[in-house]
Amino acid sequence: MLSRRDFLNFSAATIALTSLPNQIQSNQLIRNYKLTAGITPHLFDKKGVSDNLWLYNKQTPGPIIEAKENDVIRVEFVNNLYEATTIHWHGIKNINKMDGVPYLTQDPIQPGESFLYEFPVKNAGTFWYHAHVETWKQISKGLYGPLVVKNQVDDQFDNDIVILADDWRLNKKYQIDEKSFESLHDWSHAGRIGNWVTINGKKFPKYSINKNGHTRLRFINASNARILSFGSSLDGMKIISIDGMSVEPFIEDKFNLGPGQRIDLLIKTYDLSTIDFFEVSGKKPLSAFKLNVDQTSKKNIRKEDINLQSFKKIPHYKNPNILKIHMQGGAMGNLAKAYFEGTEKNFRSLAMEDKKFWAFNKLVGKYEHELAKVKKGQVIILEIWNDSRWSHSMHLHGNHFYVQSKEFENLETPILRDTYVMQPGEKSKFIYLADNPGKWLFHCHMLEHAASGMIGYIEVL
């Protein structure tokens, strides 16, 4: 286990373990996609159809976008909704103008308008894309999909399956419960918790995998606010990647997945016939999905071990720029007053007049709220204190940061994440190299928390 001194003394010369986006080169392979956002019916259950979902290409989740390391992803996006929207590419170390944040990196895409997203992808991993206008509403209605970047290691897997989980709130007629949007209770408590968990848009789907093969499962949590927890019928689950960053494999009996987070598992089937996965965050385990092992398949069976790659442990640095972020607010909190749009207000006024419940350093944020300006090339330490009664899934756009994670039982070394769940009262340090110019959003991915103040940006000059 690294000492505190090791953790706090690494250099800018060696911290950048994820590659920078750059100008698109003429010899790069371009992966072309088209996404159209529109209102689409969807069969959640044989008992009823929801006709008020907002989906990409008339499906949930949206179509998988795939590329190889060093490819260029080009997405022609068409907005057929009656509201403006944008698309954010969650976890990608992106070009800032392609990051998809309205009012900060681009203008909102109006109804009937189109926009061309084009950016290189330099790192393999599991990512996702989602709407970024009124995220608390547009994501909860279904505007998201998986994004997977592969390299030569991925060619060694016999099966590669995306497990995109969501936590919908449906009414008795299987419609999105629109009456509950902007609920003061949700916004001031844990966020919008649903009542209908799906995997890839379905209840308890089943997938076929090869006997004696190696399977990669790519878990993504698209929920507004629920921290999902997964267990299985296996003796233990081998985690090989976290938020798109490869790690030294380790075993967990179960794992939590906060909103916006991703975890990849390596499954060796051996002589198993079925593998069951459960969502275990509630009082009773819920069947999530099943893997059926094809006993007759002989195609691409690989019995030797896969040569997994992992990022190096945290390197040394010196002379960091320390930014302190004091998170306060919410129900039963200690935020007596805060500034919103230049005016100091007490908590009751913020809540009742402005629907604002959360603050960084006693400042209620929004997309255009500047947290700090830093110079390109500086090592940044975000010293964060969750001084509230609620968990927060903190996401930094355009970067991965080192963090001494407390989310796993069998992991002791710092890891790279772009989204980290901070527990009530927790103090933590997010450490990264500010090598990517632009305005990068930092916010809670409990989407109601971000909408009601827990949001701002860090500009790299």
Determine which helix (DSSP H) or strand (DSSP E) holds 392, and give its type and residue range. Answer: strand 392-396
Cα separation of 13 and 158, whole Å? 37
Burial (CB count within 10 angstroms: exposed 0-12, middle 13-18, buried 19+), residue 339: middle
Cα separation of 141 and 139, whole Å? 5
Q: Strand 87-90 relative to strand 125-131: parallel, antiparallel, unpaired?
A: antiparallel
What's the pLDDT score for residue 3? 43
β-sheet bridge partners, residue 45: 48
- Beta strands in 283-407, from DSSP E residues, in sequence order: 286-294, 321-329, 337-340, 343-346, 358-360, 370-374, 379-386, 392-396, 401-403
- Residue 325 near residue 386, CB atoms below 8 Å: no
What tokens were used for 281? 């965050």
**Neighbouring residues of 204: CB distance < 8 A, sequence distance ≥ 6:** 287, 288, 289, 290
Torsion over CA: 381, 382, 387, 391 (sign): negative
Cα separation of 193 and 224, whole Å? 7
Q: How many CB atoms lie within 10 A of CB 437?
A: 14
Determine which helix (DSSP H) or strand (DSSP E) holds 125, and give its type and residue range. Answer: strand 125-131
Cα separation of 189 and 346, whole Å? 18
**What CATH superfamily classification does 30-150 receive?**
Cupredoxins -  blue copper proteins (2.60.40.420)
Looking at 276-378, list the stretches that DSSP marks H as alpha helix, in order from N- to C-terminal side: 347-354
- Residue 340 near residue 365, CB atoms below 8 Å: no
**343 — alpha (psi -120 to 50), left (phi > 0) or beta?**
beta
β-sheet bridge partners, residue 95: none
What's the pLDDT score for residue 6? 45
**Neighbouring residues of 275: CB distance < 8 A, sequence distance ≥ 6:** 232, 233, 234, 267, 269, 290, 291, 293
CATH 2.60.120.260 assigned to 160-294: no
- Taking the mean position of all CA atoms in its chain, how far away is CA 413? 21
Q: Which of 307, 311, 303, 313 is nearest to 154 (CA)?
A: 307
What's the pLDDT score for residue 221? 98
Q: Which of 254, 256, 251 is nearest to 266 (CA)?
A: 251
CA 455-460-461 angle, 5° bins: 140
What tokens were used for 181? 């949007």
Torsion over CA: 34, 38, 41, 42 (sign): positive
CA count, 13 A, side-chain hemisphere, 121: 29
Cα separation of 41 and 59, whole Å? 9
- Outline which parts of the chain fall under CATH 2.60.40.420: 30-150, 160-294, 321-460
pLDDT one digit per residue (tens) for the chain, 461 residues: 344 444 444 444 445 556 667 666 667 899 999 999 999 999 887 777 888 899 999 999 999 999 999 999 999 999 999 999 999 999 999 999 999 999 999 999 999 999 999 999 999 999 999 999 999 999 999 999 999 999 999 999 999 999 999 999 999 888 999 999 989 999 999 999 999 999 999 999 999 998 888 999 999 999 999 999 999 999 999 999 999 999 999 999 999 999 999 999 999 887 788 999 999 998 889 999 999 998 776 655 556 678 787 776 676 778 899 999 999 999 999 999 999 999 999 999 999 999 999 999 999 999 999 999 999 999 999 999 999 999 999 999 999 999 999 999 888 888 999 999 999 999 999 999 999 999 999 999 999 999 999 999 999 99
The CATH-assigned architecture of domain 321-460 is Sandwich (2.60)
